[in-house]
Amino acid sequence: MEAGRMKRLIVLLLGLAVIAGGSIWMLQRRFNPPVETVVSSSLAALQEQNRLSAFAARFVTVVTSSKTQLGFSAEKTLILPAMIRYEVDMARLRQQDLRWDKDTNTLSVRLPPIQIAGPEFDLGQAREYGSGAVLMALTDVEASLDAENKAKAREDVIRQAAGEVTMKLAREATVRAVQSSFAMPLAAAGIEAKVNVTFAGR
């Protein structure tokens, strides 16, 4: 009789242990989701941004064009500030660009290359200097000089923007932004992780 009661008690305790274990597992799954779930959610959030711009820089270009016609000469110099944004097309980021190393708790993220967006010229701050009023009055050379200077200005700003110093600053700013986008949700889920961000082709 006593043995039967003891057996039933053991079965009851085992059943309670199974129920308690299942409840704990479900709570852990709910409040501490697996790494894959957190990373996938972070990836989807970044993809929805479409284009991530974490850095911008201002440049000033100085260009000069000249023309000679009818024995006269004309020249115009344009000083023009411009803003450049550095963007990453997050829509190109895929699951295969992410890799989780459970041994070191490190998430590796490989981003598409940074792209230069712009320039956006600040025409309100433009300055022009010129000579050759006679030729400008007699012909349409002034419009030609203006068009040439604008083309040169665009080319010069993009050249400056592609310089190694500003590209390095843009990459560093982008890395910090993407690291935070993954590290903060992981930390909130109770997952200690290091996020390592690199760029494709580098």
* Section 173-200 average pLDDT: 93
Tokens of residue 16, six digits: 């309670």
Across the range 135-156, mean pLDDT stands at: 94
Alpha-carbon span 165 to 19, nearest angstrom: 60
Length of the chain: 202
DSSP, collapsed to helix, strand or coil, labels residue 9 as helix
Mean pLDDT (the chain) is 85
pLDDT of residue 164: 95
DSSP output for 46-115: HHHH-EEEEEEEEEEEEEEEEEEETTEEEEEEEEEEEEEEEEEEGGG--GGGEEEETTTTEEEEEEPPPE
State pLDDT tens for residues 5-45: 554 544 443 443 334 344 333 434 444 568 888 999 999 99
- For the chain, what are the domain ranges? 1-31, 33-199
Nearest to 56 by CA among 112, 122, 118: 118
Least confident piece of the model among 8-12, 78-82, 180-184: 8-12
10 Å CB burial of residue 41 (0-12, 13-18, 19+) is middle
pLDDT of residue 28: 41
**Residue 123's closest CA among 99, 100, 154?**
154
Condensed to tens digits (0 to 9), the pLDDT of residues 40-72 reads 999 999 988 889 999 999 999 999 999 999 889
